[in-house]
């Protein structure tokens, strides 16, 4: 099964969620590589999974 980069990014972010600065770094790297709709989906996902302290755009 082929995994999209967006799904792979979510997996990585779940694994680094214990460290807010690492989460933010990985989030920002992904934002640079994803297209507009994927960035939007990732932001919604991050807000849901990290709450109000999640990474800000």
Q: Across the 57 residues of the chain, what is the mean pLDDT of every consecutive 10-residue run?
A: 85 93 94 94 90 53
Task: Assess if residue 23 is contained within a domain.
Answer: yes
Provide the b/e sequence for 20-33 (b: ≥16 CB within 10 Å): eeebbebbeebbee
Task: Assess if residue 56 is contained within a domain.
Answer: no
Task: Assess if residue 40 is contained within a domain.
Answer: yes
Task: Assess if residue 57 is contained within a domain.
Answer: no
Structural domain containing residue 43: 5-51
Domains of the chain: total: 1
- pLDDT of res. 54: 53
Task: Assess if residue 16 is contained within a domain.
Answer: yes
Q: What is the pTM of this model?
A: 0.79
- pLDDT of res. 57: 45
């Amino acid at each position: 099964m082929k995994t999209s980069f967006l799904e792979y990014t979510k997996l990585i972010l779940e694994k680094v969620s214990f460290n807010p600065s690492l989460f933010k770094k990985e989030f920002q790297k992904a934002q640079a590589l994803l297209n507009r709709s994927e960035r939007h989906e990732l932001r919604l996902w991050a807000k849901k999974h990290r709450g109000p302290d999640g990474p800000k755009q």
